[in-house]
Structure formats: structure tokens, C-alpha cells
Amino acid sequence: MSQNQNSDALSRHQFLRQLGMQGAALLAVYCAGQSLTACSKSSDVTPDPLTSAITVDLTSSTNSALKTVGGYIVTNNVVVANTSKGYVAVTVVCSHEGKKKVQLRNGEFYCPEHGARYDLTGKGLNSEGSRGLTVYTVTQSGNVLTIS
Ligand code: FES
């Protein structure tokens, strides 16, 4: 073995040692990422952002549910509800496992899939709803609601 081959072997050893440490560091990062993913059931959950404002005509018969407190409609993946605090709009996509089942029930938002509960500000009220709900802005002009 020549001197040159010996120094190559040493540098290869050092290289592999460094790679091993980097590999361990990468593995630690990977595992940490995995454990975070495991804690989150919603990796595939992305509430549909509003790409453009939605308008709701309160005089339309299709929106008649909004005439009374406790009534709601679902339009364009948005739940529009007439609540004790006025009109509130939230995503229909539950933050628990992404089912499009959010509805208004007993003065709060609820997903019947596993029972997630959210208050009217979108704050989670139980473990299933702990990631909250996206709430949109509602403005009223006469008989027209604009959700953005
Ligand atoms: S998907 Fe809504 S509670 Fe689980």
C-alpha cells in the first residue's frame, strides 16, 4: 500500500465517519418529523381558501334557512350560519380529518364524523376540534352577504 493509498483510506474513513454523524443527525430530524406527522392526523387537510368572495342573497328561497337564528347553508365549501352573534361563515372542511361535514348545531359548529366541536370564532372545543376552524369575514349590505 502506497502512502497515497493510505491517506485515501484515512480520508475515506473520516468521510464515512462524518457521513455517519450526518446520517444520524438526518435520522433524528426524520424521526422528529415522523413523530410530528404521527401526532397530526390532518396532513392532508387544507381548508379550501376563498379564491374569490362569495355573495349570498338573503331574499333567495335557496337561502331561506338563514332567515332564522340557528339556520345555515353550505355554499362553495363554506358554511354560512345565522347565529346568536350574527352571520358567521366558516370552512365546511373539518380540521380533524378533513371531512366536508361541518355544520351548525346548538349554537356551535360541529362535525358529525367524529364529533369535533368549534365555537363561533372557530376555536376548538374538544380534542377532535383542537386545530380550530377557518373563519371567513362576513359583511352585509342590505340583503346581500359577502364572504371573503
Ligand atoms: S373529520 Fe370531523 S370530527 Fe373527524
User: What does the pLDDT look like over 12-47, one tens digit per residue?
Assistant: 444 434 444 444 433 333 333 333 333 344 444 555
Beta strands in the chain (DSSP E): 54-57, 72-75, 78-83, 86-91, 103-105, 108-111, 116-118, 135-136, 138-141, 144-147
CA distances for 88 relative to 8, 12, 136, 147, angstroms: 69, 64, 8, 9
How high is the pLDDT of residue 51? 83
Please tell me the class of the 43-147 domain. Answer: mainly beta
Q: What is the pLDDT of residue 22?
A: 46
**Residue ranges of the domains in the chain?**
3-32, 43-147
Q: How confident is the model at residue 134 (pLDDT cuts 50, 70, 90)?
A: very high
Segment 119-125 shows an average pLDDT of 97
**CA–centroid distance, residue 4 to ligand 1 (Å):** 65
The size of the chain, in residues, is 148
Ligand 1 pocket test target in 41, 43, 111 with most atoms within 8 Å of CB: 111
CA–CA separation, 89 vs 134, rounded Å? 9
- Position 33 scores a pLDDT of 37
